[in-house]
């Protein structure tokens, strides 16, 4: 696991560089992301040329590590926030430290070394001795001023008999990840940027030592072959809708569902012979004018929804509503398949894990969005939701066979929830 002392320590940049460097060495590397984030797994996939899987103890997705590592040469897990940051300040719950302890993952600690010399030693000592089940075996320094600076950091760790400095990245504005849209990145990374990053990693990170120190056996779980498909689920996938847990899609395939991608932005109509459609999260607020301009697709979805299963979450939920006010203050029509009007905010509106109960059963998920509903829509609601601190609310909506909410469900290991969803596709 590549974890950090805090957000902004450089773990994403270092992870991407290491993934690309290992790929260029011809290694079969499987990337993972600790927590419910969608963005970093998309970047991992590009850097490593392999699907990246979310690992989250609260959602129950840590099992994916043993499922997806069979036959790989290396597995790289990027942490989230600081190593010990979780739901509560005094416990490991939902932190990457909890995940590292559960999976016995060796941890490489990334440190933002700008303005730090010998002070790296007490910092690393505190982290490495904080919890007996979390094994920090090495350090990567980011934003290092020079090779001489790196030597100072290395000596400070050595003299204190702490985990060694395995490498560093020099301070370079060019290596900062592209601008982010309200905390979320848009689009793909430049291939030349990734290759340049990998080249720098090869020069200043001792990959051989890192691989040697983390070498070990992984207990793999065999993944069964997908059964013949009996249902066809259209899954929206383009610039506007791109956030899905890969494990959810894999679980649907295991239950006989064929995943059929389509684009509300670019395709003239839905694919033929679908039993349902799934509108994931993304950035509809950036593309709603273009989506609405695709009138044949809009009509196709509305007609389909009269008799078929439609499910939207977060960005997909916004698309199902009556309207969305964008950042420019323009009110743009949605599909109008669910009641409600939403507005984009400059500040985060909701963030955190959720436990839900509703017509599909019980489940767990995560919320992260800047939009909010202008006023509570009339029921019926899809979910009765509870957050990690016990605060409860009714959320989402359903009308006929159309369902949606802000909550990104993780249902890969919940066969009852999947069966209840599929029953609505079949009915």
Residue 271 confidence class, pLDDT cut points 50, 70, 90: very high
Q: Collapse the DSSP code of 8 into the 3-class scheme (helix H, G, I; strand E, B; otherwise coil) and give the result.
A: coil
Measured between alpha carbons, how far is residue 345 from residues 122, 176, 271, 285 in Å? 41, 26, 34, 11
Q: State the chain's maximal CA–CA distance in angstroms.
A: 70
- Please write the tens of the pLDDT for every residue from 99-148: 999 999 999 999 999 999 999 999 999 999 999 999 999 999 999 999 99
Give the burial string for 176-195 (b: 16+ CB within 10 Å, else e).
eeeeeeeeebeeebeeeebe
Q: What is the model's pLDDT at position 185?
A: 46
The residue behind tokens 């064929």 is 258
Tokens of 58: 């609260």
Q: Is the pLDDT of residue 178 over 80?
A: no
- Please write the tens of the pLDDT for every residue from 5-38: 999 899 999 999 999 999 999 999 999 999 999 9
CA pair distance 119, 402, nearest whole angstrom: 56
Q: What is the model's pLDDT at position 71?
A: 86
Max mean pLDDT range (150-154, 283-287, 384-388, 389-393): 150-154
Give the relative orientation of helices 295-305 and 284-293 as an angle to the nearest 10 degrees.
Answer: 100
Q: Are 105 and 83 in contact (CB under 8 A)?
A: no
Percentage of the chain modeled with pLDDT above 90? 88
34 a catalytic residue: no
Q: How many CB atoms lie within 10 A of CB 140?
A: 29
Q: Are 105 and 218 in contact (CB under 8 A)?
A: no
Q: Are 53 and 412 in contact (CB under 8 A)?
A: no
How confident is the model over 301-324, as a mean pLDDT?
97
Measured between alpha carbons, how far is residue 147 from residues 103, 123, 141, 170, 340 in Å? 35, 21, 11, 8, 57
Average pLDDT, the chain: 94
Residues near 217 by Cβ (< 8 Å), separated by ≥ 6? none
Which is catalytic among the residues 34, 96, 314, 395? 314
Q: Is the pLDDT of residue 330 over 80?
A: yes
């Amino acid at each position: 696991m590549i974890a950090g002392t805090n957000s902004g320590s450089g773990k994403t940049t270092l992870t991407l560089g290491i993934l690309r460097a290992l790929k260029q060495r011809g290694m079969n590397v499987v990337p993972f992301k600790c927590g419910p984030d969608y963005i970093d797994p998309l970047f991992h996939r590009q850097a490593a040329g392999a699907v990246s899987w979310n690992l989250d103890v609260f959602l129950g997705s840590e099992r994916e590590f043993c499922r997806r590592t069979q036959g790989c040469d290396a597995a790289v897990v990027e942490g989230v926030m600081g190593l010990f940051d979780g739901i509560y300040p005094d416990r490991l719950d939902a932190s990457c430290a909890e995940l590292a302890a559960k999976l016995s993952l060796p941890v490489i600690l990334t440190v933002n070394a700008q303005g730090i010399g010998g002070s790296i030693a007490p910092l690393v000592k505190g982290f490495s001795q904080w919890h007996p089940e979390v094994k920090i075996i090495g350090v990567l320094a980011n934003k290092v001023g020079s090779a001489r600076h790196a030597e100072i950091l290395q000596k400070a760790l050595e003299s204190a008999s702490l985990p060694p400095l395995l490498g560093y990245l020099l301070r370079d504005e060019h290596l900062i990840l592209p601008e982010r849209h309200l905390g979320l990145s848009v689009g793909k990374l430049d291939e030349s940027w990734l290759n340049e990053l990998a080249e720098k990693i090869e020069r200043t990170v001792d990959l051989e030592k890192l691989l040697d120190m983390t070498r070990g056996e992984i207990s793999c779980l065999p993944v069964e072959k997908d059964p013949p498909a009996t249902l066809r689920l259209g899954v929206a996938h383009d610039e506007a809708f791109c956030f899905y847990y890969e494990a959810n899609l894999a679980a649907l395939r295991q239950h006989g569902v064929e995943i059929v991608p389509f684009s509300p932005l670019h395709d003239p109509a839905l694919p033929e012979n679908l039993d349902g459609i799934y509108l994931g999260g993304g950035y509809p607020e950036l593309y709603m004018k273009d989506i609405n301009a695709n009138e044949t697709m809009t009509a196709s979805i509305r007609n389909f929804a009269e008799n078929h299963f439609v499910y939207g979450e977060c960005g997909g939920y916004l698309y199902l509503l009556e309207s969305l006010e964008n950042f420019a203050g323009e009110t743009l029509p949605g599909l109008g398949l669910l009641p409600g009007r939403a507005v984009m905010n400059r500040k985060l509106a909701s963030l955190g894990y959720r436990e839900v109960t509703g017509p599909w059963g019980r489940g767990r998920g995560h919320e992260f969005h800047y939009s909010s509903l202008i006023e509570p829509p009339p029921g019926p609601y899809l979910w009765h939701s509870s957050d990690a601190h016990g605060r409860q609310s009714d959320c989402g909506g359903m009308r006929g066979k159309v369902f949606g909410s802000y909550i990104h469900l993780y249902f890969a290991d919940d066969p009852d929830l999947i069966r209840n969803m599929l029953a609505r596709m079949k009915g």
